[in-house]
Amino acid sequence: MLDLIFGYLLIITILFSANIGLFSANFKFNDIKSSLIFIVLGILLIIDIALSSLVAISLLDYLTYIFLAMSVIIFFIMIIYLKLDKSDISFYITLALYYISSFLLASQLNESSIFDSLLLTFISIVVMIVAFQSSKLLMYAKRPYNAIVGEYMSLEGILVFLFALTNTSIMQLDYEMFSSFLIMTPTYQLIYVIITIVIVLIIGSYWNDRKI
């Protein structure tokens, strides 16, 4: 069960870190400033996870509703970003959702090791940097940058919504017969699909520009 929750936490960390990195491109940060900001955000993640260990409330029975609320908020952020063109508001709401969701999931781990916290932080910073650097290419794509980010967010929201739909069934599985890793394998495969789609969007946009 703990491996399953950590798997959820890992995936949420990757998804939101990429989202934060893509949003950061709207602020025109240079490489040094963006890297420092991402490191600070990573340090805040360590603090967030450490504070979650002080919470002794079990939320396992409410994970479905938590994931459902997260997916709704993701689509709400997407609407703000695409329709109202409020990239700053979208960025701050995403940050808040990132730390709140990480806090809630980490609080369900009876105890998280320093290694786990450092691993999540390292992954988060790397994903933010990669997403931010990728945005430099996407900014010059034929398609509008906000449309590409919107497509990523729609996939992100759908994935979290699938978490909500499947969580109850996964929790009721017999863990003596199935390992949590095997249970999460379809979810990891879906993550790979999302990453592949994003890469295809980047390459496709770049290729269209070269042809023009």
φ and ψ at residue 134, rounded to 5 degrees: -65, -30
3-class secondary-structure state, position 113: coil
pTM comes to: 0.78
Dist CA 130 CA 114 (whole Å): 24
Residue 48 pLDDT: 92
- Mean pLDDT, rounded, for 38-54: 91
Positive or negative, the Cα torsion across 3, 120, 188, 104? positive
- Chain segment 104-126, per-residue pLDDT in tens: 999 888 666 677 888 889 989 99
Residue 75 pLDDT: 93
- Mean pLDDT, rounded, for 153-169: 86
Residue 181 pLDDT: 46
- For residues 67 and 138, the model is more confident at 67
Dist CA 19 CA 98 (whole Å): 10
How long, in residues, is the chain?
212
- Chain segment 50-91, per-residue pLDDT in tens: 888 887 788 888 888 999 999 999 999 999 988 888 888 999
- Chain segment 165-186, per-residue pLDDT in tens: 887 777 665 555 445 444 445 4
Of the candidates 66, 72, 87, the one whose C-alpha atom is nearest the C-alpha of residue 19 is 87
Contact by Cβ (8 Å): 50, 140: no
Label residue 151 by pLDDT band (50, 70, 90): confident
Token duo for residue 152: 């990523």
pLDDT of 96 > 90? The answer is yes
Label residue 189 by pLDDT band (50, 70, 90): low
3-class secondary-structure state, position 62: helix
